[in-house]
């Protein structure tokens, strides 16, 4: 069970990083980018609503990665009891 949760945390983190990289490299209508967007955008939307505007730089992926890592470690530590 621990390995499954670690695998899921890593997968989500990689998807967020891939989302950022693909946003610079591919068209928004590219099928690969659309697939990654469908997974990551719903997680980014609440963060974007809360975060203040920072002059065109989107820090929400960084916040999402930190949140994923924090929640994952919290879940793993609670399961260790």
Residues 17-21 have a mean pLDDT of 97
- 55 phi-psi bin (left φ>0, alpha ψ -120 to 50, beta other): left
DSSP characters over 15-78: HHHHHHHHHHHS-TT-HHHHHHHHHHHHHHHHHHHHSPP-TT---HHHHHHHHHHHHHHHHHHH
Q: What is the pLDDT of residue 52?
A: 86
Residue 75 CA to its chain's centroid (Å): 17
**What are the extents of the domains in the chain?**
2-79
Place of tokens 């997968």: 11
Q: Which two tokens mark 69?
A: 């890592």
Q: What is the pLDDT of residue 43?
A: 97
Model confidence pLDDT, tens digit, residues 20-68: 999 999 999 999 999 999 999 999 999 999 998 888 899 999 999 999 9
Q: What is the pLDDT of residue 54?
A: 84
């Amino acid at each position: 069970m621990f390995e499954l949760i670690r695998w899921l945390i890593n997968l989500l983190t990689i998807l967020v990083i891939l989302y950022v990289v693909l946003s610079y490299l591919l068209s928004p209508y590219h099928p690969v980018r659309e697939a990654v967007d469908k997974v990551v955008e719903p997680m980014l939307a609440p963060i974007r609503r809360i975060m203040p505007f920072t002059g065109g730089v989107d820090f929400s992926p960084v916040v999402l990665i930190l949140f994923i890592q924090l929640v994952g470690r919290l879940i793993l530590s609670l399961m260790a009891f």
